[in-house]
A and B are shown apart, each in its own frame.
Chain A
Amino acid sequence: MKRLARSIAPHLVLVVFSAIIVLPLLWVVRVSLTDKLTAYKIPPEIGSIGSMNYSAIFTSYPFTTWFFNSLIVALITTMIALPLATALAYVFARWNTGGVALRLGVLASQMLPPIILVLPLFAMFLMAGLMQSRISLIIAHLTICLPFLSWMLVSFFEGDVARLEEAARVDGATRWQAFIKIAVPVAAPGLLAAGLLGFILSWNEFLFALVLSGPDTQTLPVGLAGLETHAGVEIAPLAAATVVSLLPVFLLLPFLRKHLIKGLSLGALK
């Protein structure tokens, strides 16, 4: 009995929590299938149901452009940021490279409100001739991702894994091999979280994307914000766009299923 309770309790917590997340989203789905008039009807009515908002976001708005701009920028940012941040975190953890000062210095820039960094950053990209390009967005997003990801990953390289690496070094492994073959696998759960975090930071970043993008390089947040017009919020197409932009999460499911396992414990490496 007690064991059963113990195995059900986590699911209970998770079901309640998932419901809190999902119920508002279901309401968004409902709004996406109707018009603004029906969306605000109280008491709620079924009203007209249709896919007009879904066709609207692809015909009246360049949703596809926004979506792929966001996807490309976020993916490339993550692909660059993750290895760089892993390396940085590793040397922080292993040899305290640069000391506390460097560690804090790396993070300090992120403690300034981004609005203050906009003007000089803009000037730099203008001089480099990178205005309105995706490259400028990727670089800007990297400067946000790198500090956070590296801070986050440091703790995954601390602790007992250092001793394992030393043992491997005694057995003739190079520093690089010790890093790749021992430290990285142990930190795998951290890397998954860091990768997701990097993607999310870039995917949602608004201010730099607003200032640095042009008509062809607008990202999803910038484009969708345009649905809040001076003449009201186009809430129904906005809901449709939100739903479509969330669908890729479920494409991730097989990947998550594979990688969301418990990390390799140290015992497995011995």
Chain B
Amino acid sequence: MITRRVLLGSALAIGFAFPAYAETLNVLMEGVPDTEFVKQVLPEFEAATGHKVNLEVVNYAEMHTKLVPQLVAPKGSYSVIVVDFYWVGEFTKAGWLQPLDDRIKADNVDTSVYIPALMDLVGKVDGVTYMLPFYNYAMGLTYRTDLLADPKNQEAFKAKYGMDLQPPKTWDEYLKQMEFFTRDGMHGVVNQGLRPDPIAMEWSNYLFANGAEYHDANWNPTFNNEKGVKAVQQYADAIDKYGPVGSASFSFDEAFNVMAQGKAYSYITYNFFRTAYDDPSKSSVVGKVEIMPVPGPTADTGGSLNGAWGWAIPKSSPNPDAAWEFIKWVESPEIAKKRALLGGSPTRTDVFEDPELNQKYPYAQALKSMLLTSHNFPVFTYTPQLVEVLGRELSLAVAGEKSAQDALTQIEKEFVDLAKKDGKLK
């Protein structure tokens, strides 16, 4: 009896109580590198808790379709899910996620270690915590360091533009480089012009880089102006003038391949592609590509779009307590660091500051500053629909079937409708 109490006490003391019986946790995830890293550390969790974890990996594009019926149901199959920031507004508005605040308080989980922008994106909604940020996929500018360092290029660039060729400090400087490198079969840039999310996400960087945002604090649209028009025109030019034929229909895979085959100078894309450039089975530019925050209108601002996934427990979770145990474990400092060391994309400041991580991945600080200078996409119930609208109108503008101004006016109109429908805009 006494031994039992001691055992129980010590179990509580080290932070978690063993469950009454082992449970099976079904976790639905998307096929990204970070999922692979979770898979690799999973045995530790199973050994420590006795729970069994079934990790089900599905195609990103179809994940939402698979989730919705599960979430509408009173009791679904999934204990834990990961939620893309697109879906946060929808899932919380529909009441599909369990609030985590009580559990966080009871277990003294410190959420202040997360990068605040990530907590805003995939953590808290209107003051209630529904998720813990799992990994981030903020977009950055990936560019060819070898081309920048080439003295011939440096000379020619200086002669043409009267400035040094270096990692661009401002958006205008980058646009010049885009133009400069488009010659001799090389392309200054490659774009992901496929609708809806590839183009909408990529263009958002162009919008932020021109110094505009989607909306102000009261959800009034702030993109249908000179800056917005410039962003659309620059984007269309990037595709038509400085990019390879066909980038209007590229998904990130096609665009990445152009870059990986050494046929383009730059590509604005998700940060997890940084590691892929160094994979010799995919890339011919190993060690020649670096990532940096998308430059902003001035040297001290950035234009990167933020993006992230969060861990959540659905309302329909068959075993929410065990689910919380899993989330707590996978987001513990120790495991979060382990995942980052395997190549994962961190969300916690303490992991970003870890010396071991910085030694292994020198670009970790660039990723962090990218997050700190990044901008968030509007998160509300109709985020996916806004992405659709952006995708359609931008694609029309790039195809030359609509002027930049007309496209923006249409986007603004539909944005206002959606924001009003959601009660964000009065």
A interface residue numbers (CB < 8 A to B): 35-37, 40-42, 115, 118-119, 122-123, 126, 131-132, 207, 210-211, 214-215, 218, 222, 225-233, 235
Contact = CB atoms under 8 A, between A and B. Distances in A.
A126 B229 CA distance: 50
A215 B79 CA distance: 13
Contact of B256 (A41, A115, A232): A232
B385 interface: no
B33 A210 contact: no
Given A222-B58, A230-B60, A214 B26 contact: yes
B87 interface: no
B55 interface: yes
B261 A40 contact: yes
B323 interface: no
Interface string B19-49: 0000000100011110000000000000000
A122 B66 CA distance: 10
A35 B282 contact: yes
Nearest to B59: A225
Contact of A210 (B55, B62, B253): B62
Given A232-B276, A233-B253, A210 B65 contact: yes
Interface residues of B, number: 38
Given A225-B58, A231-B272, A36 B281 contact: yes
B260 A231 contact: no
Given A122-B73, A132-B77, A207-B65, A231 B33 contact: yes
Contacts of A225: 58-59, 61-62
A226 B30 CA distance: 8
Interface centre among A115, A132, A230 (most CB of B within 10 A): A230
A37 B262 CA distance: 11
Contacts of B162: none
B89 to A, nearest CB: 20
The A contact surface, by secondary structure, is mixed
Given A230-B32, A231-B272, A233-B253, A122 B69 contact: yes
Interface in B244-294: 252-253, 256-257, 260-261, 270, 272-273, 276, 280-284
A226 B283 CA distance: 22
8 contacts: A37-B261, A37-B284, A40-B260, A123-B73, A225-B59, A230-B30, A230-B272, A231-B273
B360 to A, nearest CB: 19
Nearest to A40: B257
B8 interface: no
A241 to B, nearest CB: 14
Contact of B60 (A222, A229, A235): A229
A166 B309 CA distance: 69
Contacts of A232: 252-253, 256, 273, 276, 282
A200 to B, nearest CB: 21
B113 interface: no
Contacts of B61: 225, 228
B349 interface: no
Contact of A37 (B68, B252, B260, B272): B260
B31 to A, nearest CB: 4
Interface in B307-349: none
A222 to B, nearest CB: 7
B82 to A, nearest CB: 11
Contacts of A210: 58, 62, 65-66
B316 to A, nearest CB: 10
B282 A231 contact: no
B130 interface: no
Contacts of B26: 214-215
